[in-house]
Amino acid sequence: MPVSSQGVTVVALLADPDAPTEIAQRMARTLPDRLADKSGQGRRFDVEVVSEPFTSGTEDPTTLMRRIRDRGSAENWDIVVALTDLPLHSHGRKLAVNLSHEHGLALLSLPSLGGLRLQARARRAVEEAVLGLAGPQTTGAEGPPRRQPLLGPFVDRLAPIHPGQPGEEEADDVRYVVSGPRGYLRVLAGMVRANRPWRLVPGLSKALAAALATGAVATVNSTVWSLAASLSTPRLVIATVGSVAIMIGWLIVDANLWHRPPESSPEARQRAALYNASTVVTVGIGVLVCYVGLMVINLVSALFILNDRVFASLTRTPLHGTEYWTLSWFVASVATVGGALGSGLERDEVIRAAAYSKREQERRRALLDDHGD
């Protein structure tokens, strides 16, 4: 890519709205200095953040690279690095980053970086992509000059990302793909991170209201006292697993969160399995957070409400710390089932908004529209 006449390389971070934009904005604060230090030779960089839904309506990497190229050609940018929180696939492979050295373009799929230390990993990936695109050119025996692809540090730090060969008709010339079981888990963790499962808790207000009401009634019910006092730890664990599974299943089925592939190809089925796995994990984390919160609330309520003499007279068991804990644990399971019933009062759009990122919501909305047509 050419460098601007002032000797400053202009780098644009083209980010999808929501999480990718937040990551790009935080990254832009220190990226110019870090790029200048690593590139040497007195080179300077100017970084701009542009937030727009460049992935709207498509997940095809080739189409996205063309959109990025057209967007960059309309501006005075030397290098464009696009960030999206959608997992990208092509020819059965999960893509991490696509590079076009000829046009100075990079497309980074954030889920491929995993769910932990995402900001630091994204910064390192962007730094090495920019330095690779702005690096010295090499001339092959045939064809136009090309710059060196990303070298060892990117692969080593972000393993198991490995170089993959792009298709003949595609716009990129260097591609890194995620492969193997570890890579699958990394992408899955990244998708769950992009969905932000902790937002599911405040997003299910009616379900939480039903769960809290069920818990309050169960806490003062003598039959529940007797059941809790008679249950062993394995049975309490079974009750927990059962109630959480009921809540997860109810939310997925009632809000139509299960992804069905639009075609029967192996690649489509593989992609659907990945989306459904991320849905189950996302909803599961949110439900577990709710469950733990219910346990704490029930424990606090029991400490203030229960009378040790009344409890002992009805259950023939003295009210000690173990009994408080056991009762709160069992009531949390009962309340979770009540919350599952209450979630039926939530609108499907509210549940999807709480369970998915903006890009994922738009993707699923487009799929529903296609099925409707």
Q: Tens digits of per-residue pLDDT, 333-348?
A: 999 998 887 777 666 6
Q: How confident is the model at residue 274 (pLDDT cuts 50, 70, 90)?
A: confident
The highest-confidence range among 192-196, 293-297, 317-321, by mean pLDDT, is 293-297
pLDDT more than 70, % of the chain: 80
The whole-angstrom separation of Cα 366 and Cα 358 is 12
Q: What stretches of the chain adopt beta strand conformation (E)?
A: 8-15, 44-51, 79-84, 88-90, 93-100, 105-109, 137-138, 146-147, 161-164, 174-178
- Ramachandran class of 180: left when φ > 0, alpha when ψ lies in -120 to 50, beta otherwise: left
What is the predicted pLDDT for the residue at 347?
Answer: 67
Q: How confident is the model at residue 281 (pLDDT cuts 50, 70, 90)?
A: very high
What is the predicted pLDDT for the residue at 158?
Answer: 45
The whole-angstrom separation of Cα 24 and Cα 110 is 11
User: Average pLDDT in the 307-321 region?
Assistant: 86
**pLDDT of 235 higher than 80:** yes
The burial class, CB within 10 Å (0-12 / 13-18 / 19+), for 63 is: middle
Question: For the chain, what is the radius of gyration of the CA atoms?
Answer: 26
Q: Tens digits of per-residue pLDDT, 22-53?
A: 999 999 999 999 998 888 777 889 999 999 98
**pLDDT of 72 higher than 80:** yes
In the three-class reduction of DSSP (H, G, I as helix; E, B as strand; rest coil), residue 247 is classed as helix
What is the predicted pLDDT for the residue at 160?
Answer: 42
> Is the Cα torsion angle 132, 137, 140, 144 positive or negative in sign?
positive
Please state the φ and ψ torsions of residue 83, each to the nearest 5 degrees: -120, 130
The whole-angstrom separation of Cα 35 and Cα 128 is 9
Among 215-219, 267-271, 327-331, where is mean pLDDT lowest? 267-271
What is the predicted pLDDT for the residue at 168?
Answer: 55
Give the contacts of 25 (CB within 8 A, at least 6 positions apart). 49
Q: Tens digits of per-residue pLDDT, 139-196?
A: 444 444 444 555 445 545 444 445 555 655 555 667 778 878 888 888 899 988 888 8
